[in-house]
Amino acid sequence: MPAVSEDPVTDPPAPSGPLPRVLRRVVDVRPGEAPALAWAWVYFFSILSAYYVIRPIRDEAGVAGGVANLPWLFTGTLVAMAAANPLFGLLVSRLARVRFIAVTYRFFMANLVLFLALFVLSTGAVHAWVGRAFYVWTAVFNLFVVSIFWALMVDVFDSGQSRRLFGFIAAGGTLGGIAGSLLTSTLVGLLGPAALLLLSVVLLEVAVLSVRRLSRLSHRLHDAREAGDPDAAAIGGSALAGLVQAVRSPYLLNISLYMLLFTVLSTFLYFQQASIVAESFADRAARTVFFANVDLAVNTLTLLAQVFVTGRVLAALGVALTLTLLPALSVLGFLALGVAPTLAVIVAFQVLRRAGNFAVARPTREILFTVLGREDKYKAKSFIDTFVYRAGDQAGAWSYALMGLLGLGVSGIGLVAVPISLAWLLNALWLGRRQEAMARGDRPTGRR
């Protein structure tokens, strides 16, 4: 759909009404944006709540199916991503925007009802295989529903608006994750794990409602110079356009490289943390408390940054410099781990990196897609957010294992990660500058 226009010369008047005045204290919301911002916030809250309600069930199913089988489940997830992307591309080609989003989410809702029946009716080895299938399905579900959410955001809001609003919108997802986790921990003893799948179904239906409301509101934000209703017709194109464009376009190819480097380095850090924690805590309960405290610190810091920092940093630094912050932190963090692979260093690095990703890097990365045509926003973006993301996981896991066989420990792998982080930083700087140049052109670039 046409991006929302901004007046580059005059400052708009402050929004009227009590809610916009309250919002303006924490986010730079402009006239006419508050309703769309609110529904975008509800949308992200609902899908992250739906995911975090079932995430503990996924994790338990993975452990029950055998920890030794987890690498194979990761590989199965990558295969599932490869199969799902052309099917999603076909939906995008054939259906209008609201319809293909609703069909996708309701397909996942039907899957949840099916898994509920399978969990209740199956026993023994069959139950274990259902759990493994659910583990893979949940990974696919998480990446797709979040990718579709951000695709709609970059389709509704333009580059300038995304800098101001995406941090606050992301805070809705953070609160949704916290709420989903609390719902599961509170209700699992009362309802049982399987019944919680129905709660996730309800939350996804709220997401579908939010999509419809947001799409209607977005029409009011259209630039009067643009024509056409984005929900009146399908986007068109081929089912494999996402893959083709991700390889053909230098800009999309570099976004794919950004994603690969991010996930490879995240996997390195994940395994480094596991090694240090295993050496630091002999007791399983102590390790559980440690991970819970890390998650609490990450969520708290993320929420504060999303509400009070992200928009201001983007306004002050621009897309290019903001996009380099997480790679720069990775350079310093992996260098610190190479010199001093201690528990204190891994905690500080992990908390800052994860919070920095959720609060700053992820919203900024989404801004990269605001300058693209609609087909690329949904097809190429989905391919990068799902298949390329999981390919990076695989590359990171296997390369980490190889370095371990070569005798490199936590310290040595940390030093290996430093030049990779520097390459990531240069890639982020190029992408940010390219996005800023394309945004100044005042029209989307790429397949429409």
C-alpha atoms less than 13 angstroms from C-alpha of 393 in its C-beta half-sphere: 19
Of 424, 79, 426, residue with least CA distance to 265: 424
- Distance (Å, rounded) from C-alpha 242 to C-alpha 211? 22
pLDDT of residue 14: 45
Is 259:388 a contact under the CB 8 Å cutoff? yes
Is 358:170 a contact under the CB 8 Å cutoff? yes
pTM of the full predicted structure?
0.83
Residue labelled with tokens 């819970």: 292
- Distance (Å, rounded) from C-alpha 225 to C-alpha 319? 26
Instruction: Please give the biggest Cα pair distance in the chain.
Output: 68
Backbone dihedral region of 342: left (phi > 0), alpha (psi from -120 to 50 degrees) or beta? beta
pLDDT of residue 59: 67
pLDDT of residue 32: 81
Residue labelled with tokens 């900024």: 364
The amino acid present at 205, given as its one-letter code, is E
| Angle CA 369–254–88, to nearest 5 | 55
pLDDT of residue 287: 73
pLDDT of residue 8: 40
Query: Could you tell me the two tokens for 292?
Result: 């819970």
Low-confidence ranges of the chain (pLDDT < 50): 1-15, 67, 224-227, 442
Rounded-to-5 percentages of helix, strand, coil across the chain: 80, 0, 15
